């Protein structure tokens, strides 16, 4: 198979993937603990329950879900750390759970809450260890390392012992260490967790630039919607181990929040506009926010413009955080009386 036809294949292909964990179960309390020593009761928990999706080469996909939705289990199966119970996974044409070196050389895993850099030594030395592990030729190693150090702006930091770095600095060094071998698929599990806004922004910008330069595919989980908005053209939302939504971020908003907010400014002051939609907010200076179904938004706006003297009118999507919160909460938005 030549390189051209290979690139047509998805970088990641997942079909009906399942993972069931067997967990010991016991009630709280000492008596129950002692009973548990003698006879354990087990319960099967389906962490991933039939997930299918593709990620194209060069695509950046956001993986969204509440805590315990199965995101990390998915990433672990994709990176070969967990053996699937059933289903099919293929990453760059490899079956991850076989952990072939050829496969491992082409991927990377970054976990925001765990360190791979050694605590007591400068990051540069950990880089050196990764060079040996990935067998990166010297010239290539130096070029990549210098490029990453420059892009992440960590030139002065990589010489200090990792324990002396701030959380944000450490994460940047972690990311550099994970990319020295120029992987083609990046699995990033909460790469910006706990970081301040500036550090989050820097890492976000770096990842976008890295994706642009190398054409690597990125699968990212994050609790920060800003990460997802800045990086991902597409999101896969999972809930209780199953795919709830797979598509564009914009379409997610229309799908899960079929409402928009119309804000009108009326020079004549407070007016009762409840006939047009649900009044969300009304201020004494004549500004009123209305929640209306997306499909009717333009018609309602036209009626407002026809019926009133309007000095200002905007139609907005609800903030993505609210949409996601609604998706995770599993409750559809309340119907608007019409």
Give the residues lining the site for other proteins (CB under 8 A). Answer: 19, 21-22, 76, 79-83, 97, 99, 101-105, 107-109, 111, 114-116, 118, 120-121, 125, 128-129, 131-135
Identity of the residue, 129 or 226, whose beta carbon is nearer to other proteins in the bound complex: 129
Identity of the residue, 102 or 209, whose beta carbon is nearer to other proteins in the bound complex: 102
Identity of the residue, 127 or 210, whose beta carbon is nearer to other proteins in the bound complex: 127
Identity of the residue, 116 or 294, whose beta carbon is nearer to other proteins in the bound complex: 116
How far, in Å, CA of 212 to CA of 285, rounded?
47
Identity of the residue, 34 or 133, whose beta carbon is nearer to other proteins in the bound complex: 133
Distant-in-sequence, close-in-space partners of 219: CB < 8 Å, separation ≥ 6: 12, 55, 61, 63, 75, 78, 185, 186, 187, 188
Task: Write the Ramachandran bin of 66: left for phi over 0, alpha for psi from -120 to 50, otherwise beta.
Answer: beta
User: Which spans in 43-188 are helix H?
Assistant: 71-78, 101-104, 123-134, 138-152, 167-179
How far, in Å, CA of 73 to CA of 11, rounded?
19
DSSP letter, residue 274: T
CB of 148 to other proteins, least distance (A): 18
Question: Facing residues of 31 across strands?
Answer: none
CB of 128 to other proteins, least distance (A): 6
How far, in Å, CA of 311 to CA of 267, rounded?
6
How long, in residues, is the chain?
338
Q: What is the largest CA-CA distance in the chain?
A: 78
CB of 84 to other proteins, least distance (A): 9
Residue 272 sits at φ, ψ, to 5 deg, of -80, 110
For the sheet containing 312-316, what is the strand order?
278-282, 287-293, 259-265, 312-316
CB of 186 to other proteins, least distance (A): 12
Question: Facing residues of 193 across strands?
Answer: none
Mode of pairing for the β-strands spanning 41-55 and 12-25: antiparallel
Identity of the residue, 97 or 333, whose beta carbon is nearer to other proteins in the bound complex: 97
Identity of the residue, 183 or 277, whose beta carbon is nearer to other proteins in the bound complex: 183
Identity of the residue, 70 or 277, whose beta carbon is nearer to other proteins in the bound complex: 70
């Amino acid at each position: 198979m030549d390189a051209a036809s290979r690139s047509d294949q998805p970088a990641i292909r997942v079909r009906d993937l399942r993972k069931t964990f067997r967990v010991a179960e016991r009630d709280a309390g000492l008596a129950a603990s002692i009973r548990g020593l003698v006879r354990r009761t087990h319960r099967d928990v389906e962490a991933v329950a039939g997930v299918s999706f593709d990620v194209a080469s060069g695509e950046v996909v956001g993986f969204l879900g509440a805590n315990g939705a199965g995101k990390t289990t998915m990433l672990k199966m994709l990176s070969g750390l967990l053996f699937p119970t059933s289903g099919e996974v293929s990453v760059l044409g490899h079956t991850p759970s076989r952990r072939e070196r050829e496969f491992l050389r082409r991927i990377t895993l970054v976990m925001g809450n765990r360190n791979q850099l050694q605590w007591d030594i400068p990051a540069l030395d950990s880089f050196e260890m990764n060079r040996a592990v990935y067998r990166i030729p010297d010239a290539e190693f130096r070029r990549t390392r210098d490029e990453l150090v420059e892009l992440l702006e960590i030139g002065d930091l990589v010489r200090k012992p990792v324990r002396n770095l701030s959380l944000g600095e450490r994460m940047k060094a972690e990311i550099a260490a994970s990319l020295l071998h120029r992987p083609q698929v990046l699995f990033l599990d909460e790469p910006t967790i706990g970081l301040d806004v500036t550090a989050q922004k820097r890492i976000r910008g770096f990842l976008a630039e890295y994706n642009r330069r190398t054409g690597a595919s990125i699968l990212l989980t994050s609790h920060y919607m800003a990460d997802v908005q800045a990086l991902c053209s597409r999101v896969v939302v999972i809930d209780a181990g199953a795919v709830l939504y797979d598509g564009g971020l914009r379409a997610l908003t229309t799908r899960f929040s079929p409402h928009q907010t119309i804000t009108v400014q009326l020079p004549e002051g407070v007016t009762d506009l409840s006939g047009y939609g649900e009044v969300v907010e009304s201020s004494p200076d004549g500004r009123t926010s209305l929640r209306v179904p997306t499909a009717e938004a333009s018609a309602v706006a036209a009626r407002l413009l026809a019926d009133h003297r309007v000095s200002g009118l905007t139609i907005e999507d609800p903030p993505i955080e609210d949409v996601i919160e609604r998706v995770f909460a599993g409750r559809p938005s309340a119907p608007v009386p019409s």
